[in-house]
Structure 1
Amino acid sequence: MKTDKVITATVEYFGSDKKRIHHFLKVYSFAKTIGESENLSADEQELLEIAAIVHDIGIKVSEEKYNSSAGKYQELEGPREAEKLLAALGYEKTFIDKVCYLVGHHHTYENIDTLPYRILVEADFLVNLYEDDSSRSAAEQAYEKIFRTKSGKNLLKIMFLIP
């Protein structure tokens, strides 16, 4: 699986918004790492990696339309933007629909029903905890309430909970 075209297209989409570009690259890196550690199938790994790259693609439209980057707006606007980008790159509709589901739910923490969905949420949390300079208490809560994969929990523990 090659992700270079999706990464390049997403960088082009965000343009000079370096903060958003660095964010998705970090989430992609953690998602890739956790997915490989959890032994996802090749299809699940591809879905996870592409979804991680485009997971926040709705931010731009959300900020323009609602003057907010809130998760609910990202989930609302992201799937349409992800679909346009991935369709232009030649991805099949069934695959795009799966990616769009993850993009449209990556801030919804109940009923996480697949491993790619779980890992995307965990990877995004790892990056957001760092970028938001979250407290140890916030990391502990995420560890208890959000994280389920062995490798995701281990990364969170190393980065935020071990003194």
Structure 2
Amino acid sequence: MNKLNQLYMEMIRYYESDAPRIQHFVKVHSFARLIGEAEGLDEETQFTLEAAALVHDIGIGAAEKKYGFSNGRLQEQEGPHLAEEMLEALNFDRAVTERVCYLVAHHHTYEPVDGLDYRILLEADALVNLYEEETPAEGIRESYKHLFRTETARTVCKTMFQIEEQEER
């Protein structure tokens, strides 16, 4: 089994009996893979992006246990250490582990974005969150205008949420 599939299975075990969280990271990973491949990421960056997509919300449970809730800032605070432990246990390359931990520590921070892997993770997570949180049409349009920058994510968002051309302006 390749490393990404090992990580995938480890995250399923990590979220044992929590189907909504498993479904969430699966969808984020799927969009991240699609967008990264369509945008032409090199193999190493694509691998790092996919690993980050799988573990991006790993800090939710720790934040909830420690603080009683898990907003984006707390997820960013609590997640990197847990991601690092998991990636190290699976013998991920140190450079990949460091970048994944950085992405986990910033996946709710929209500016500044340093790298296409970071941009794509934000976009993939947003595509899933807009749907799962049943975001009203105006919020989706605002996200489309201000968050989505890659052509692939813009196309997915526009198609999925039926954003009309005149709404883009």
TM above 0.5, yes or no, is: yes
User: How big is the shift at 1:145?
Assistant: 1.0
CA contact (8 A) 1:58 1:79 kept: yes
User: How big is the shift at 1:160?
Assistant: 1.0
AA aligned opposite 2:94? K
Structure 2 unaligned runs (5+)? 165-169
For 2:15 and 2:88, the matched residues in 1 are separated by: 17
User: How big is the shift at 1:137?
Assistant: 0.6
Provide the residue aligned with 2:68 in structure 1. 67
Q: Moved runs in structure 1, 4+ residues, more than 3 A?
A: none
AA aligned opposite 1:23? H
CA contact (8 A) 1:75 1:106 kept: yes
Provide the residue aligned with 2:44 in structure 1. 43
For 2:94 and 2:80, the matched residues in 1 are separated by: 12
CA contact (8 A) 2:60 2:79 kept: yes
Q: How does 1:1-163 map to 2 (within 5 A)?
A: 2-162=3-163
SS in 2 for 1:138: helix
User: How big is the shift at 1:94?
Assistant: 1.9
Q: Percent identity?
A: 48
Cα RMSD between the aligned structures?
Answer: 1.1
CA contact (8 A) 1:71 1:107 kept: yes
AA aligned opposite 1:25? V
AA aligned opposite 1:36? E
Structure 1 unaligned runs (5+)? none
CA contact (8 A) 2:3 2:90 kept: no
User: How big is the shift at 1:92?
Assistant: 2.2
Question: TM-score w.r.t. structure 2 length?
Answer: 0.94
For 1:147 and 1:106, the matched residues in 2 are separated by: 14
User: How big is the shift at 1:60?
Assistant: 0.7
For 2:43 and 2:71, the matched residues in 1 are separated by: 32
User: How big is the shift at 1:2?
Assistant: 4.5
CA contact (8 A) 1:44 1:116 kept: yes
For 1:73 and 1:129, the matched residues in 2 are separated by: 20
CA contact (8 A) 2:3 2:92 kept: no
User: How big is the shift at 1:161?
Assistant: 2.9
Question: TM-score w.r.t. structure 1 length?
Answer: 0.97
For 1:11 and 1:113, the matched residues in 2 are separated by: 29
CA contact (8 A) 2:32 2:53 kept: yes
Deviations along 1:56-99, whole A, 9 cap, x unmatched? 00001011001112000000000001001100001122211100
Give the total of aligned pairs: 163
